[in-house]
Structure 1
Amino acid sequence: MSQISRGLENVFIKTTSLTYIDGENGILRYGGYDIEDLVEHTSFEEVVHLMLYGDLPTKLQLQRLKSALDEAYEVPQQVIDMIYSLPRDSDAVGMMETAFSALSSIYGMPWNKATNRDNAVKLVARASTVVANVLRAKEGKKPAIPEPSESFAKSFLKASFSRTPTEEEVKAMDAALILYADHEVPASTTAALVTSSTLSDIYSCVVAALAALKGPLHGGAAEEAFKQFVEIGEPDMTESWFKRKIIEGKSRLMGFGHRVYKTYDPRAKIFKKYAKVISERNSDARKYFEIAQKLEELGVETFGAKHIYPNTDFYSGVVFYALGFPVYMFTSLFALSRTLGWTAHVIEYVEDQHRLIRPRALYVGPLKRDVVPIELRG
């Protein structure tokens, strides 16, 4: 049994130049750049260039990338029809899986070093169209395709809600896209890598990643964390809820703890800042932010000594809710951003380190047995 690593904890399956994590000191970097600096000084489009092409873009390179994104928002009508053909109460990530399976049938192609990154850029743009229309279909609204604008975040928000977002909203959405863009090789990225190792197409890799992200222990954590705030209801009820549910009921405090971080998740600090700003104009969101703050204090006081702190999902739901997204869309918003990380990792793996991923299982069943004829088995 000593040969087995449950959950593949601390097992390295690839090398990467994409994302660096120091879990002890709460450091996250994309391509060598601190996440705090990227959120503060760059845009999601610049991070797309960084992750796919290796560095932050020049003005000309950024212009070309934005043009490529703008030209790829359109998706075949069959894909839109497929999204709208599903029941409105369908799971949002499941609807994304369906759409990306269709996109795989249409755009799936063999890996090619000359076109892999360009295909990934198009995939990210099409993902925004898929997610916006998953929301619109579930809300009973007509389809809408993102239109070119000053930023990817603005185009996505406008397509989602059929209104022009404020500068604060655009910046908050842009920050969320950057913060969720990648995090090395969690379950969804590993699923994408396993799929890429068979040389399946890049859209199929995203389908595999979405299937893993759909689970409540991965992408669904933001929804579960936010549901706690809703259940608490009012800030002055936080302490009694915490005592009843977490201390006495031994329930898990959602949005707390991380497999890698043994300190405060650096993304959570940034999400908290944006949650505070973006919730000022939304009374319900402000209430949930205040509940989250109080719950954080209680959680850190109780679990901090065990190195359990808020993770990225603790405050992100407040940001998404303040932007106008229903809770059922939180995981899909995570997925929209993470399409960048998934595609960057599978490209890196296929081009530089490719080997079919084929692990083993340690057999612990009976030793050799003889087959007894069925009439003699009693």
Structure 2
Amino acid sequence: MSNELERGLEGVLVAESDLSYIDGSDGTLLYRGYHIEDLATRADFEEVLYLLWHDELPTRAELETFTEKLTADQHVDDDVLTAVADMAAADADPMDALRTAVSLLPTYDPESDADTDDAAVGRRQGRRITAKIPTILAAFDRARRGKEPVEPDDDLGYAGNFLYMLTGTRPDDVAEETFDMAMTLHADHGLNASTFASMVIASTMADVYSSVIGGIGALSGPLHGGANEDVMEMLEEIDEAGADPVEWAKEARADGRRIPGYGHRVYQVKDPRANILESRLRDLSDASGDTTWLDYTTAIEGYLADEGLVEKGIAPNVDFYSGSVYDHLGIPTDMYTPIFAMARAGGWIAHILEYQSDNRLIRPRARYTGRTDADFVPIDER
């Protein structure tokens, strides 16, 4: 056993996986061997979920059956929706509301008492979780705006249904396609903190619900899931100040402030997901006639490139453009991280099922640095 300490487990191999492959040096991301560019632009999110959970792309018949079941599972029990409305009334954080609502779902799951080592059961429970998260999030946001929840529309796909339940209006093709692509881009990304947290819980043979709840908790931390919100706040700060984005970025760096959406623990070049979202932001900006966020982000990216950050391995990540895309779709800023969870739940579930198929309890050790010779003194003598 090695005594080398690797803080944060950086570079430590803890599992083998067929799910996603990342080459940070050239900006490659694969899901089960398929390039993210192909999946994001040529496949629906439902196809990607099937791929992650079944190890192959579906046939037309398989996709129709899978989509029908996913659609049927979107409906959420009234008691859960009541709890969601209560949390909205109490001004709960959206991630707290999501975590709490998901923890209520097994109460109404017909297979809640099934064996956790049955992969088919785990896959069905995972499908139910994935299907219900959009309904929960849309109901929460509407409740805090004093609006009634919108029932899922069985004729809409996963991405389109969320936008419809959020706004009450059927999205146009550009919005639905863009959001579907965003879901695919966020579905999986190796053993990031939330995925690993899900796997640690799953390694105890806990059920899929418990494991996904752990992933939501990990994603809620500002070092993992909140960068897209930080980017949006940066852009709004620039806009409200009427500042030039390049001059703002120069001053921010001079003050020691970090530019959100820049840098990644794996990528040394521009995140391939950022390239795709930048393209979609251009399409949305052209459609709306408002290029403000596009102008700001591209100006900052150009300036930082000229400053040599890319050569130093610090480049735009997926969050640098996702916030602007979501804003164009009318999604509130504090819903960006919950939407991340909505997409990433598919990846969490895939990793949970994969790891439990050849399970070993994850039990690392820590190097002890405390005292070894403390003398106990009875409490009345202290």
Given the two structures, how large is their TM-score scaled by the length of structure 2?
A: 0.94
Q: What amino acid sits opposite 2:281 in the alignment? A: A
Label 1:268 to 1:208 Cα distance change in 2 as closer, same or farther (>3 A).
same
Q: Secondary structure at the match of 2:202?
A: helix
SS state at 2:125 partner: helix
Cα distance in 2, alignment partners of residues 279 and 199 from structure 1 = 47
Q: CA deviation at 1:367?
A: 2.1
Is the alpha carbon distance of 1:2 and 1:300 closer, same or farther for their aligned partners in structure 2, counting shifts above 3 Å?
farther
Q: Residues 229 and 337 of structure 2 are in contact (CA less than 8 Å); yes or no, is this contact kept in structure 1?
A: yes
Matched residue, 1:149? 155
Structure 2 counterparts to residues 29-48 of structure 1, below 5 A: 29-48=30-49
Contact 2:284 2:328 (C-alpha < 8 Å) held by counterparts: yes
Aligned equivalent of 2:301 = 296
- 2:341 is matched with which residue? 335
Corresponding residue pairs, total: 374
Q: Percent identity?
A: 37
Aligned to 2:251: 244
- Rounded to whole Å, the distance in 1 between the matches of 2:107 and 2:191 is 26
Mapping of residues 1-378 of structure 1, within 5 Å? 3-88=4-89, 89-107=91-109, 108-109=112-113, 110-111=115-116, 112-233=118-239, 237-246=244-253, 248-282=254-288, 286-302=291-307, 303-351=309-357, 353-374=358-379, 376-377=381-382
Moved more, 287-296 or 265-274: 287-296
Shift of 1:361: 1.3
Query: How far is the alpha carbon of 1:236 from its aligned partner?
Result: 5.6
CA contact (8 A) 2:88 2:140 kept: no
Q: Deviations over 1:72-104 (max 9, x none)?
A: 011111110111011443211111001011113
Runs (5+) with no aligned partner, structure 2: none
In the alignment, residue 267 of structure 1 is paired with which amino acid? R
Aligned equivalents of 1:84, 1:114: Cα separation in 2? 32
Distance, in Å, in 1 between the alignment partners of 2:285 and 2:93 is 26
- Residue 255 (structure 1) shift: 0.2
Cα RMSD of the aligned pairs, angstroms, is 1.7
Distance 1:145 1:279 in 2: 30
The 4+ residue runs of structure 1 with deviation greater than 6 A are: none
Q: Is the 8 A contact 2:122 2:207 kept in 1?
A: no
Amino acid at match of 1:224: D
**Residues 104 and 204 of structure 1 are in contact (CA less than 8 Å); yes or no, is this contact kept in structure 2?**
no
8 Å CA contact 1:73, 1:147 repeated in 2? no
Q: CA deviation at 1:299?
A: 2.2
Q: Which moved more, 1:182-191 or 1:1-10?
A: 1-10
Separation in structure 1 between the aligned mates of residue 28 and residue 144 of structure 2, nearest angstrom:
38
Partner amino acid, structure 2, of 1:35? I
Which blocks of at least 5 consecutive residues in structure 1 are unaligned? none
Q: Residues 102 and 129 of structure 2 are in contact (CA less than 8 Å); yes or no, is this contact kept in structure 1?
A: no
Secondary structure at the aligned position of 2:29 is classed as strand
User: Counterparts of 1:105 and 1:2 in 2: how far apart (Å)?
Assistant: 44
Code of the aligned partner of 1:308: I
Q: Quick one: which amino acid aligns to residue 78 of structure 1? A: D
Asked if 2 retains the 8 angstrom alpha-carbon contact of 1:100 and 1:204, the reply is no
Contact 1:220–1:331 under 8 Å retained in 2: yes
The separation in 2 between residues aligned to 1:60 and 1:305, in whole angstroms, is: 47
- Calculate the TM-score normalised by the size of structure 1: 0.95
Deviation at 1:298, TM superposition (A): 1.8
Q: In terms of mean alpha carbon deviation, does 147-156 or 228-237 score higher? A: 228-237
SS in structure 2 opposite 1:86? helix
